[in-house]
Structure 1
């Protein structure tokens, strides 16, 4: 089987994401007939149908779903390789750190101060990502390191060190049946409407929710306040407290880890120095290090 070119992957991914040839062609700035011809050529080369086409609908076949999933990773890898090569040859390269707004567990200032004291410290550019895409920033080379929450964030392809461990807290509207309790267990939340995080199949604490889809904590807070859902979050993401909500520790929820993560392929001293400074600032040592 012949390999696909990156341009062909870009064409297919655009169609697979839009599920509409017209919108995909507009996104790619090419003519729709040329795009349709390119997709047929890919299917012919692979020997499998990738799309089901009707006059009103386009959908992915199982083969198409597989190519979309792996094709995204392949394009990310190509982009990351090019960016890494440029940065490796740049003696004045800055370090780029991606975080979630308000999602640093109050560690960022200490980390930056600790790193500034290292002899080879460079300028650190702070990038802001969404609730679920910060790991992708590192995988595709847009960022060098990220502050992530485990097990919530997908760490596939990344190395990481733990900076802090914290408990989880249930957020409930005032007047909720559980609001009067001092602490909760996961079983107490059985039957509750839980949110679905956009881009995350499982929330990392309990099974995927059946409630409204949310992209970030502010959206979630609004929905909890009007009684549409409840949620379990790392303690640091529940601050500051919002009037009209109550916060109760969930004593048997798996603890959350704040981690510093970087690409397994990135062995630059620039990154290693920042990681060590972050670990020192966090003051956490995992069990293996402490033994």
Structure 2
């Protein structure tokens, strides 16, 4: 069984992404001839052709496309492992939690208080992001994140469900739909919706949003409307109203962390979050 070296994956990924040996060599800070030899040696060891070489172009073979995809995964995992190791060795270790402002279902204050009462609890560093919070987990930049199913990709993450919520349309009190007791998603076909950082535009037609205050302000200015979890109702300004959306899929707030994580501090945080969620559900019932 052939084993790939990280160096080989770095070399091959650069060439596969640039599709040009000269540009790849410049990107790597090395001369072109040794790079070409390294790729040829890799092909000989694997017994497959990874790149089709022409006078003016380089193209990936099917085998090369597979190695590029798998190689990126390995390199990302290696970089994440290095970051986690460096953070674990800090003189002031802490647990890094990524959240979306206003996206904790109202549970976070109780979760933090419950966690701090756990033996061996670490200080919690909160990182606020409206972008792809799950990416920060995969990159090793955070220990845990509050995410929402089905909106986030949870592949490769362990999760604990905390709270399932129906969704509300948040609009200005002067909006044409403000007097309705309920709405459907079809009612929003012509409405500008927010764009989230790092997420393709899709059907969104409004400005990009970076924090909750900005989002609510833009809604009040009639620049957009937004469909949000029902817990947002407690944070609305007086000039905004919330209307239930009958056919919007409920969202589930989940605590997510990298698969196979073994940190005692993280395990304690998961226990605290679960206990708070169960208590909130029982109280709500």
Q: Within 2, Cα distance between the matches of 1:281 and 1:193? A: 36
Shift, 1:248, TM fit: 1.5
Tell me the TM-score normalised to structure 2 length.
0.70
Matched residue SS, 1:267: coil
Partner of 1:252: 247
Q: Within 1, Cα distance between the matches of 2:234 and 2:15? A: 41
- Give the 5 Å matches for 1:184-263: 184-190=183-189, 192=191, 194-195=193-194, 197-200=196-199, 208-209=202-203, 211-212=205-206, 214=208, 216-217=210-211, 224=219, 229-237=224-232, 240-242=235-237, 245-263=240-258
Check the 8 A contact 1:162/1:285 in 2, yes or no.
no
Check the 8 A contact 1:198/1:213 in 2, yes or no.
no
Partner of 1:168: 167
Change (3 A) 1:156 1:175: same
Partner of 1:278: 273
Change (3 A) 1:226 1:74: farther
Q: Within 1, Cα distance between the matches of 2:241 and 2:15? A: 45
Shift, 1:172, TM fit: 3.5
Tell me the TM-score normalised to structure 1 length.
0.68
Moved more, 157-166 or 68-77: 68-77
Change (3 A) 1:247 1:7: farther
Partner of 2:120: 120
Shift, 1:89, TM fit: 7.1
Check the 8 A contact 2:97/2:144 in 1, yes or no.
yes
Change (3 A) 1:102 1:191: closer
- Give the 5 Å matches for 1:1-291: 5-7=5-7, 9-10=9-10, 70-85=70-85, 93-132=93-132, 134-173=133-172, 176-190=175-189, 192=191, 194-195=193-194, 197-200=196-199, 208-209=202-203, 211-212=205-206, 214=208, 216-217=210-211, 224=219, 229-237=224-232, 240-242=235-237, 245-283=240-278
Q: Which has the higher Rg, Structure 1 or Structure 2?
A: 2
Aligned length: 280
Check the 8 A contact 1:173/1:244 in 2, yes or no.
yes
Check the 8 A contact 2:216/2:236 in 1, yes or no.
no
Check the 8 A contact 1:164/1:282 in 2, yes or no.
yes
Check the 8 A contact 1:149/1:258 in 2, yes or no.
yes
Matched residue SS, 1:283: helix
RMSD (Å) for aligned C-alpha atoms? 4.7
Q: Which deviations, in whole Å up to 9, do the C-alpha atoms of 1:122-155 show, x marking residues without a partner?
A: 22222233422x2122222211111112221211
Shift, 1:199, TM fit: 3.7
Shift, 1:120, TM fit: 2.1
Shift, 1:266, TM fit: 0.5
Moved more, 181-190 or 270-279: 181-190
* Structure 1: runs of 5 or more not aligned: none
Moved more, 103-112 or 175-184: 175-184
Change (3 A) 1:89 1:33: same
Q: Which deviations, in whole Å up to 9, do the C-alpha atoms of 1:261-282 show, x marking residues without a partner?
A: 1112102322111110111123
